[in-house]
């Protein structure tokens, strides 16, 4: 990484890359004067970090990040303790893949699927896909998951929510 950080958030993206957002760089527990604003993207295929756009607000202790179904990342909160200001606001981060061209489309996917079951994802972009759900709760705890498809340029679709049970 280009920036030392503590209290950062890491978000796994549909491409398998990991987005690092927020945090502080100081040695004091939550020194917002050392806030890190630049996002960084880790590519697991190369092991390389790339510095991306910056957020406007210091998102330190109690900050959070969440991948949204449209592929953007919600960065919110921060503060609420250790003398830091309460950041009761949010920012949206658009990863680079959203600027690489047209997005594939999922036209249908099941609302729920059991472990080890195969299911179909329909798309006009590849005549559909057959997918096998994870083998057990050791691989994916029961719950709701976002299912994305990616095109050849690693551009993700908007997610469909599928419950695995």
Q: CATH number of the domain at 146, please.
A: 2.60.40.10
Shared domain for 116 and 95, answered yes or no, is no
**9-12 β-sheet, strand order:** 9-12, 18-21, 38-43, 48-54
Residuewise pLDDT in 10s, the chain (165 residues)? 999 999 999 999 999 999 999 999 989 888 999 999 999 999 999 999 999 999 999 999 999 999 999 999 999 999 877 678 999 999 999 999 999 999 999 999 999 999 999 999 999 998 999 999 999 999 999 999 999 999 999 999 999 999 999
b/e per residue, 127-157, with b = 16+ CB within 10 A? eeeeeebeeeeeeeeeeebebbbebeeebbb
Range of the domain at 126: 112-164
Closest CA to 60 of 12, 19, 6: 6
Q: Is residue 106 part of a domain?
A: no
CA 68/CA 13 separation, integer angstroms = 10
Same domain, yes or no, for 60 and 132?
A: no
In this predicted structure, what is the pLDDT of residue 49? 98
Distances (CA, A) of 106 to 99, 151, 160: 19, 11, 7
pLDDT of residue 81: 72
1 lies in some domain: no
Same domain? For 94 and 13 the reply is yes
Name the nearest CA neighbour of 73 among 96, 52, 92, 90.
Answer: 92
pLDDT at position 126:
87
What's the CA gap between 24 and 96, in Å, rounded?
24
Query: Given this model, what pLDDT does residue 80 score?
Result: 76
3-state secondary structure of 136: coil
Same domain as 81, residue 134: no
How many domains does the structure of the chain reveal? Answer: 2
């Amino acid at each position: 990484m280009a920036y030392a950080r503590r209290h950062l958030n890491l978000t796994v993206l549909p491409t398998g890359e990991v987005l690092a957002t927020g945090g502080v760089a100081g040695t004091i527990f939550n020194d917002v004067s050392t806030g890190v604003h630049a996002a960084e993207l880790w590519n697991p295929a190369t092991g390389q970090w790339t510095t991306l756009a910056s957020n406007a607000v210091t998102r330190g202790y109690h900050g959070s990040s969440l991948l949204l179904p449209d592929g953007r990342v919600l960065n919110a909160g921060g503060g609420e303790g250790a003398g830091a200001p309460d950041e009761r606001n949010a920012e949206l981060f658009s990863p680079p893949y959203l600027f690489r061209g047209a997005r594939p489309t999922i036209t249908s996917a099941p609302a729920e699927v059991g472990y080890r079951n195969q299911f179909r994802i329909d798309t006009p972009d590849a005549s559909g896909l057959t997918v096998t759900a994870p083998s057990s709760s050791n691989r994916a705890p029961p719950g709701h998951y976002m299912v994305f498809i990616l095109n050849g340029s690693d551009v993700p679709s908007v997610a469909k929510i599928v419950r695995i049970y």
